[in-house]
Structure 1
Amino acid sequence: MAVVSETIIDFWRKPFLDGEVLYRNEVFTVVVNPNLDEDRRVMVLETSDNKVMVTLTPTMVEKIGLEIGQELSEGIFRQKLNEAGVMLHGADFLFYFSEEDKNVLVQEEIEGEVRQLTAQDNTVFSQFEGAASEQDLDDAYVELDHWAVFGSFEQKRLVAATSMYPWQDAQIADLGVLTLQAFRGKGHARRVVRAISKYALAKGYEPQYRCQLDNEASTALAKATGLTLFGKWDVISPDSVY
């Protein structure tokens, strides 16, 4: 796995290793975990070292038709999902700061006109939202009432914003970021992501950056921000009725 903190490794290890091992080899593991939440009753994690782990509930094991000791591979597993009509949502990349990069981040001074936003910035933030497309707002999921919000300004205008919300039962904070179309390519997104990540680290949280595999711009931003790819994570689709 990537050189990230034990907090992150332990968080991801738990659901994929807690339970009965259905199948395991050097690169592929399937575990039956009866304690998974309903919206995560099937999960797949492929780490950056190309190892794939699957965890699923006993009900889904029965639905898909898996048995202890049967020969499996990722390809066979996905074929069985398809045959059973079980759909996955679509994988996200997972990015985190390595321990080395975190040490750099916590000591640096963030450049530009970047600051934390509060409820007092409601008018400024509303103007920012009004200048963004509905699609960008939905994709970014940046909200002023989230746990932490930072903005980057140009000539006193809010042109980029990022917000975070902690995950339940984990010292991990998920972030979203949005830059207005006319101000992209100027480093605003990189600065606000590093600023909010520095804030999260000071509060004891691991910043988490997620994006869809086909979102090249978001992937490029993650790398430019200094984040390290941890892996790809997928869960059962809400459209699956099982």
Structure 2
Amino acid sequence: MPQKNMNDRVYAHWANLLGCDYSQLIAPTVSVVKHSEGLNGYNGIYFFNNRTSCIISAPPKYISELDKAVGGLEPDQAFNGDLLGHSIGDGHIKIIGPAFQGYVDSDSFLQASSPSVVVLETEHHKALLKELRESCTEIEWQHSSIDEERSPILLRILNGKAVAAGSWRKGESGFLSIGIISHPSYRGQGHAKTVVNALTKQGLTTGATMHYQTLESNTSSVAIAQSLGYVRLGRTMAIRLS
């Protein structure tokens, strides 16, 4: 089935990033592994959970304590930042997540009928994007992963104002990861979905699998992805250590 093929590609990517065997992602298991090359240097703990398994990646010095902490736990039970942060005795941690990891390919895309968007090309478009950025917090902008020097950037313009913008970045896996932001005064009106729909459609024409990441607490963003056919194939969480 097409969906299984997408799953294979996604799990192969995560196995490579986490430095584990593909089989560990498709069997009921909890595994603690040391940071692979992809996470080398990250001073923290990174989790991947797909309801079947939970892979926990950490610096070598924490492996033993984490193994003890998750011994006998089910995958969903081990996906617990508070539990694992406490197990290593670090009183200064920051938990980021859980985050939704959604994917869609041409077989599962639910294309929406939506208003038009424009490609950022002119100085006027750049000025509109600058105004949109200034309307949002710096954290919101960082989470959007929009880079003015990277194309494509799509804008949804309403009454002379950029009310939403989006782009993608290509990861080492070859997946195209969408970033999206909307104007605070125009949220909940479908503008972000319009841009995500257009980006997804354009990306899929290249033969890519599209990736959408957002915090699970951002339920409206998750809803946008799922309404377009993005399937949650994983959840992630990160613990940043002091």
Q: Aligning the two structures, in what range does the TM-score lie when normalised by the shorter sequence?
A: 0.7 to 0.9
Map of 2:87 onto structure 1? 83
Aligned partner of residue 143 in structure 1, secondary structure = coil
Q: 1:39 to 1:148 in 2, by over 3 A?
A: farther
Matched, 1:161 2:171: no
Question: Are the equivalent residues in 2 in contact too, given 1:18–1:33 (CA < 8 A)?
Answer: no
Could you list the structure 1 runs, at least 4 aligned residues long, displaced by more than 4 angstroms after superposition.
74-78
TM-score with structure 2 setting the length: 0.75
Tell which deviates more after alignment, 131-140 or 196-205.
Answer: 131-140
Q: Is the Cα–Cα contact under 8 Å of residues 150 and 196 in structure 1 kept in the other structure? A: yes
Which secondary structure does the structure 2 equivalent of 1:211 belong to? strand
Q: How far apart, in 2, do the equivalents of 1:221 and 1:166 lie?
A: 21
Task: Give the structure-1-normalised TM-score.
Answer: 0.75
Distance in 1, matches of 2:71 and 2:136, equals 50
Change (3 A) 1:151 1:205: same
Amino acid at match of 1:60: Y
Question: Sequence identity, in percent?
Answer: 16
Where structure 1 has 5 or more consecutive residues not aligned to the other structure, the ranges are: none
Aligned residues: 227
1:115 and 2:118 are equivalent in the alignment? yes
Cα RMSD of the aligned pairs, angstroms, is 3.4
Are the counterparts in 2 of residues 15 and 55 from structure 1 also a CA contact under 8 Å? no
**Is 1:181 equivalent to 2:184 in the alignment?**
yes
Shift of 1:141: 3.9
**Aligned pair in 2 of structure 1 residues 57, 136: CA closer, same or farther (>3 Å)?**
closer
Distance 1:51 1:76, change over 3 A: closer
Partner of 1:144: 148
After superposition, give the CA deviation of every residue in 1:98-138 in whole Å (9 maximum; x if it has no partner).
55224x64xx8x63221221364212222333344555434
Say which of 30, 33, 39 aligns to 1:31.
33
Higher mean alpha-carbon deviation, 10-19 vs 151-160, is at 10-19
CA distance 1:181–1:18, change in 2 (3 Å): closer
CA contact (8 A) 1:119 1:145 kept: no
Report the 3-state secondary structure (helix = DSSP H, G, I; strand = E; otherwise coil) of the residue aligned with 1:91. strand
> Which residue, out of 184, 193, 198, partners 1:195?
198
- Gapped regions of structure 2 (runs ≥ 5): none
* Correspondent of 1:18 among 17, 20, 29: 20
